[in-house]
């Protein structure tokens, strides 16, 4: 008999199982490799920036300035450097500023879509582009110690900032006020604790108090120039200048202990300012710390017409062991006003009462809220408004989508805007408007000024979106949620202007957001509701 042999083989099911297992293992390997690769890129970019920072600082030590360029290779001149990144990394957007004291710089490094930035006195920070390919992605970026600008991750350029005077910004993390050079924005870490930075774009203001940070005491009596003491009791207050101020070197310390008083007052009065007239709003503010027992502590304004007292208004404050800013506003000064006095007062002093208060960064300004501190010495000082302009290349107002990540303003300014553009003095579309009463609403405006507005209250730090469709309708979204009021009717501007403004409507100085703005993005199409939610979730917690 002929023997017949048999051979075993894989069944179809077995082959499919093997293929699926191989696919799963391959997917796991790819995901793991991708994660490792991304971490390697991030680590490489950070390492390159750290090394570049060290070389820039060494150059500064030798030359007292930063180099004009970092890509002068292979043989740099005496004013330049040759810095080479590793692998496929690229150094981009090196920006030195040797006109400030001390000089500063900022530098970016990129690898495909991964971008890190660094500035003097900072660590490398990642900048993550928004999803779905925006045509502009402007993000607040540091370029020096507490100042910088908006940088477009798409166009790889900085915004144009116009303000020829310096300003300041307070950082609660350090409890100090920092100087901001002209033509830069004040930049802080985000105030909600999320990743990234924020910029405050402010209107112009003037501080009318002289020697407002107590820098001078020419007769060495312990009381700063342009200030005087007041008392209607028998105790003698002690005034000294002490170190540890919020701004500058000295704060004004005021101490009083009473042994024979009953309901008396003591205080420090600032030099008079005659710049005010009837109808003005006057706001005074000061940074105070200390302790008081049995007394009431006030900030106060006296309103005069020549030698005639018209009115007194004051606000009770409760200083603590840490500096905090206190302010209040006198709304609509009375007819005949030509002079305003500012006071720090200790009221209702009785026997055994005492107070020990330090005062720093005193301010008196016109307006309905306290703006950032404006230092003064022998004359009043004006701070110009912040005007921030960005190009509108690729924007389509007829069917575009806009996102702004910002904080609700606590200030009641005149129609403040997060974002808007003007085609002329009468043709404009203003995406994010505020209504009065201290509540912040989001609204769409038509170019004619007749607003059929949809409102949605913005609270805290929010990401707000506006979506234009077919040049006739505008929807508003706050934190990814669409307003239930329906779409706003609006008219598309006739011809898109070359530039748009961030935080201010136009150059007139009448419409300012006056609150932190972290980022804004522009898309050239009307995104769907789900895409708007996706972008919001991607950018709301920082880059």
Distances (CA, A) of 414 to 167, 222, 380, 463, 513: 21, 41, 24, 22, 9
Contact 344, 302 (CB under 8 A): no
**Tens of pLDDT, residue by residue, the chain (543 residues):** 455 555 567 788 778 888 888 888 877 766 655 556 778 888 999 999 999 999 999 999 999 999 988 988 999 999 999 999 998 998 877 878 887 778 888 888 888 878 888 887 778 887 888 999 999 999 998 888 889 999 999 988 899 999 999 999 998 878 899 999 999 999 988 888 888 889 999 999 999 999 999 999 999 999 999 999 999 999 999 999 999 999 999 999 999 999 999 999 999 999 888 999 999 999 999 999 999 999 999 999 999 998 899 999 999 999 999 999 999 999 999 999 999 999 999 999 999 999 999 999 999 999 999 999 999 999 999 999 999 999 988 988 788 899 999 998 766 555 677 776 655 555 566 666 655 444 455 555 554 444 455 567 777 899 999 888 887 778 888 899 988 767 777 767 767 778 888 988 666 667 788 889 999 999 999 999 999 999 999 999 988
Domains of the chain: which residue ranges?
Answer: 227-382, 387-539
Virtual torsion, Cα 72, 77, 80, 84, nearest 10 deg = 40
CATH class for the domain made up of 227-382: mainly beta
Instruction: Report the topology of domain 387-539.
Output: Jelly Rolls (2.60.120)
Kindly provide the residue ranges of all beta strands, DSSP E only, lying in 212-323, ordered along the sequence. 227-231, 238-243, 250-257, 264-270, 282-293, 296-305, 308-317
Q: Do domains 227-382 and 387-539 have the same CATH topology?
A: yes
- Rounding to the nearest 10 degrees, give the CA dihedral for residues 257, 258, 263, 266: -50
Residues 274-298: b if buried by 16+ CB within 10 A, e if exposed: ebbeeeebbbbbbbbbbebeebbbb
Rounded to 5°, the CA angle 74-76-82 comes to: 65
**What's the sign of the alpha-carbon dihedral 298, 206, 244, 249?**
negative
């Amino acid at each position: 008999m002929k023997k017949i042999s048999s051979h075993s083989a894989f069944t179809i099911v077995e082959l499919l199982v093997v293929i699926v297992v191989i696919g799963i293992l391959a997917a796991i390997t790819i995901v793991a490799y991708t994660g490792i690769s991304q971490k390697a890129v991030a680590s490489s970019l950070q390492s390159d920036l750290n090394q570049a920072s060290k070389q820039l600082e060494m150059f500064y030590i030798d030359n007292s300035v930063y180099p004009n360029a970092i890509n002068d290779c292979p043989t740099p001149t005496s004013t330049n450097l040759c810095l080479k990144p590793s692998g496929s990394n690229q150094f981009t957007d090196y920006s030195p500023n040797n006109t400030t004291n001390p000089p500063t710089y900022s530098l970016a490094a990129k690898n495909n879509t991964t971008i890190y930035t660094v500035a003097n006195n900072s660590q490398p920070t990642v900048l993550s582009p928004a999803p779905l390919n925006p045509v502009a992605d402007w993000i607040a970026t540091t370029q020096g110690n507490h100042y910088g600008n908006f940088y477009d991750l798409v166009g790889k350029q900085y915004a144009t900032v116009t303000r020829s005077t310096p300003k300041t910004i307070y950082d609660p993390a350090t409890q100090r006020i920092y100087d901001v050079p002209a033509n830069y924005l004040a930049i802080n870490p985000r105030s909600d604790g999320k990743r990234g930075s924020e910029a405050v774009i402010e209107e112009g203001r003037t501080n009318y108090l002289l020697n407002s940070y107590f820098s001078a005491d020419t007769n060495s009596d312990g009381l700063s120039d342009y200030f005087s003491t007041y008392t209607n009791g028998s105790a003698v207050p002690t005034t000294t200048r002490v170190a540890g101020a919020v701004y500058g070197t000295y704060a004004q310390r005021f101490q009083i202990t009473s042994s024979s008083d009953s309901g008396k007052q003591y205080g420090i009065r600032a030099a008079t300012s005659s710049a005010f007239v009837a109808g003005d709003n006057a706001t005074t503010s000061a940074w105070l710390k200390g302790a008081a027992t049995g007394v009431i502590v006030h900030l106060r304004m006296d309103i005069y017409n020549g030698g005639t007292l018209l009115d007194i208004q004051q606000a009770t404050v409760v200083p603590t062991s840490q500096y905090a800013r206190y302010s209040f506003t006198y709304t609509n000064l009375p007819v005949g006003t030509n002079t305003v006095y500012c006071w720090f007062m200790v009221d209702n002093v009785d026997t055994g009462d005492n107070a020990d208060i330090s005062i720093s960064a005193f301010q008196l300004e016109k307006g309905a809220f306290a703006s950032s501190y404006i230092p003064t010495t022998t004359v009043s000082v004006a701070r110009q408004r912040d005007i921030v302009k960005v190009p509108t290349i690729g924007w389509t107002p007829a069917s575009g989508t806009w996102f702004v990540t910002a904080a609700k303003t606590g200030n009641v300014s005149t129609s403040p805007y997060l974002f808007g553009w003007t085609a002329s003095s009468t043709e404009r579309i203003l995406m994010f408007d505020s209504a009065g009463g201290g509540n912040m609403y989001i609204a769409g405006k038509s170019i004619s000024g007749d607003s059929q507005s949809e409102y949605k209250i913005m609270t805290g730090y929010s990401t707000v979106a506006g979506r234009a469709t077919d040049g006739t309708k505008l929807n508003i979204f706050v934190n990814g949620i669409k307003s239930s009021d329906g779409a706003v009717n609006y008219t598309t501007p006739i011809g898109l202007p070359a530039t748009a403004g961030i935080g201010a409507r136009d150059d007139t100085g009448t419409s300012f957001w006056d609150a932190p703005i972290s980022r804004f993005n522009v898309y050239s199409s009307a995104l769907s509701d789900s895409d708007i939610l996706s972008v919001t979730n991607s950018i709301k917690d920082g880059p």
